[in-house]
Amino acid sequence: MNYQKNLRAGFSLIELLIVIVILGGLVAVVAPGLMDSADQAKRDTVCLKMNDLKKRFDMFSLDNGSYPDTEEGFAALLANPDADKYPNYRAKPYLKKMPKDSWRTPFIYIKKGDDIEIISLAADRKEGGTENAKDILFSNCNK
């Protein structure tokens, strides 16, 4: 019989630890960049949604002569809030459901004279904030 030593069939604990440390280092370097990209993508998506909402409010205004009041807000795009005030309201609503931003928070609508502002409270879901938690205003999206 040939009693040769068995060839090494696995990795030592030291080799496994070295691989884990290398992978951990790579994750520490790459992950923050990916997170920033994901946050920026959410913010960009919010601006795209706001652009669509602005167009729907513009259609409402063309049909009815003005934008809905602040109190009527997005609900005015879902159903006619006042048949006497908006006699030219379309047979089908301008929206099918209440819009939400990338963080699943409802948008805010404000009528400002002859124009409107659409706002997302962003990641922190609170008014104000900084960096990725800074509120997103439609008027700032195209800048």
CA distance 109 to 72: 9
Check: CB of residue 100 under 8 Å from CB of residue 122. no
Q: Is the dihedral of CA 31, 33, 36, 41 positive or negative?
A: negative
Kindly give the parts of the chain with pLDDT less than 70. 1-9, 31, 33-36, 143
CA 17 to chain centre: 39
Closest to 46 measured CA to CA, from 112, 116, 123:
123
pLDDT, tens digit, 9 for 90 and up, residues 98-108 = 999 999 999 99
pLDDT, tens digit, 9 for 90 and up, residues 89-129 = 999 999 999 999 999 999 999 999 999 999 999 989 889 88
Residue type, 42: K
pLDDT reported for residue 34: 63
CA distance 46 to 100: 9
Phi first, then psi: give them for residue 64, nearest 5 degrees: -115, -5
CATH 3.30.700.10 fits 13-141, yes or no: yes
Domain segments of the chain: what residues? 13-141
